[in-house]
């Protein structure tokens, strides 16, 4: 009950927010929503399935470039380009996952690490320059507001992202809450027992990797539209680390953790960078280590603890 009220309040706030706050704040909120989708994708992989990826910036980049190439070079509309970006990333995730997933744990982390570091260079590759725009990247236009809606472009984009996020969160929740989700968790905690119970562990891992890449790819596509710009150097290894920070702080293996994490990585660097250029990253690093030791369930876990302490009847 408390959870439903909390969700309704949050949704109501999200719906009125762009009419109350400034244009720049709307842009920030849109970024947070987009990040939340990416974090949900990584959380399905790392939190629920226990596979480590520190290369999700690569899938975010593929999503962003797919949308940019389709709309700028081929003039396709956004409502085709964004789902296509998801599909391309799903395929990329499966393709990369197939070989890499035969190996567990840190070997997969290593393969994704190499992918993340190589991605900016791959995007600068000369032969694909005509499509990608090389080092300079590409500029995108914000979508026009259709049907004379009483919104400006920023607000319209905000609501589009919010709608996509709602759908993707609903799908994600059902996915991890059902049979497939239980199989994911079983593969994470007891791979041998899961296999003995008839779970095709390799298939579950591969598909989870694909779905995770799809989520991150859609986020990348929306992110490219929001930023109106794609360039190889926006998708470095540091972006991958940011995602990991987001899910670790928000709460690994939880749906709402993705939202808390997105708020954290959306707001905190702004404050921290006032201290020094290095401060946000130092803070990220400290947060990662502190979280592992002191709050392994992240903000989500802390909120649940507090709720259980002060509202014992509504905690469940």
The contact set with another protein (CB under 8 A) reads: 46, 50-52, 54, 99-100, 102-107, 109-111, 113-115, 117-118, 121-122, 124-126, 192, 237, 241, 244, 248, 252, 276-279, 281-282, 284-289, 291-293, 296
How many Å apart are CA 169 and CA 167, to the nearest integer?
Answer: 6
Q: For another protein, which is the closer residue by CB, 11 or 118?
A: 118
Nearest distance from C-beta of residue 256 to another protein, angstroms: 19
Half-sphere exposure of 223 (CA within 13 A, CB side): 32
Q: Which pair of tokens denotes residue 117?
A: 């570091």
In three-state secondary structure terms, 138 is strand
Q: For another protein, which is the closer residue by CB, 90 or 96?
A: 96
Query: Which stretches does DSSP call E strand in 83-209?
Result: 138-139
In three-state secondary structure terms, 229 is strand
Phi, psi of 229 (to 5 degrees): -165, 135
With residue 230 as reference, give the H or E element that holds it. Answer: strand 229-230
* Residues 81/224, Cβ–Cβ less than 8 Å: no
Name the DSSP letter for residue 286: H
Residue by residue, DSSP assigns 20-38 as HS-HHHHHHHHHHHHHHHH
* Residues 247/46, Cβ–Cβ less than 8 Å: yes
Phi, psi of 30 (to 5 degrees): -60, -45
Nearest distance from C-beta of residue 111 to another protein, angstroms: 6
Nearest distance from C-beta of residue 276 to another protein, angstroms: 6
Nearest distance from C-beta of residue 82 to another protein, angstroms: 27
Residues in Cβ contact with 298 at an 8 Å cutoff, skipping those fewer than 6 apart: 247, 248, 249, 250, 251, 252, 254, 257, 260, 261, 291
* Residues 140/230, Cβ–Cβ less than 8 Å: yes
Nearest distance from C-beta of residue 124 to another protein, angstroms: 6
Nearest distance from C-beta of residue 299 to another protein, angstroms: 15
Q: For another protein, which is the closer residue by CB, 165 or 187?
A: 187
Q: For another protein, which is the closer residue by CB, 151 or 288?
A: 288
Q: For another protein, which is the closer residue by CB, 43 or 66?
A: 43
How many Å apart are CA 311 and CA 5, to the nearest integer?
Answer: 14
Nearest distance from C-beta of residue 110 to another protein, angstroms: 6
Nearest distance from C-beta of residue 45 to another protein, angstroms: 10
Q: For another protein, which is the closer residue by CB, 14 or 110?
A: 110
Q: For another protein, which is the closer residue by CB, 76 or 95?
A: 95
Q: For another protein, which is the closer residue by CB, 110 or 302?
A: 110
């Amino acid at each position: 009950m408390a959870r439903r009220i909390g969700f309704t309040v949050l949704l109501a706030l999200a719906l009125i927010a762009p009419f109350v706050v400034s244009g720049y704040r709307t842009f920030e909120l849109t970024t947070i929503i987009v990040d939340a989708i990416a974090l949900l994708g990584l959380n399905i992989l790392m939190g629920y399935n226990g596979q480590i990826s520190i290369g999700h910036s690569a899938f975010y980049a593929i999503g962003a470039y797919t949308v940019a190439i389709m709309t700028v070079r081929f003039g396709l509309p956004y409502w085709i380009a964004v789902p296509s970006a998801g599909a391309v990333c799903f395929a990329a995730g499966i393709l990369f996952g197939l070989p890499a997933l035969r190996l567990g744990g840190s070997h997969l982390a290593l393969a994704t690490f190499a992918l993340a570091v190589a991605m900016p260079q791959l995007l600068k590759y000369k032969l694909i320059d005509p499509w990608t725009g090389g080092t300079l990247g590409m500029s995108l236009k914000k979508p026009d507001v259709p049907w004379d809606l009483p919104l400006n472009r920023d607000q319209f984009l905000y609501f589009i992202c919010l709608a996509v996020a709602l759908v993707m969160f609903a799908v994600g929740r059902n996915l991890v809450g059902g049979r497939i989700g239980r199989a994911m968790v079983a593969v994470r905690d007891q791979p041998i027992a899961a296999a003995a119970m008839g779970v095709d562990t390799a298939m579950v891992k591969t598909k989870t990797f694909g779905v995770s890449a799809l989520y991150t790819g859609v986020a990348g596509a929306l992110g490219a539209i929001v930023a109106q710009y794609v360039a190889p150097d926006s998708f470095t290894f540091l972006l991958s680390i940011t995602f990991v920070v987001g899910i670790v702080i928000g709460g690994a293996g939880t749906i709402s953790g993705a939202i808390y994490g997105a708020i954290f990585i959306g707001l905190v660097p702004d404050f921290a960078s006032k201290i020094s250029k290095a401060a946000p990253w130092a803070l990220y690093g400290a947060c990662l280590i502190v979280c592992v030791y002191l709050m392994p369930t992240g903000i989500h876990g802390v909120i649940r603890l507090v709720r259980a302490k002060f509202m014992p009847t509504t905690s469940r």
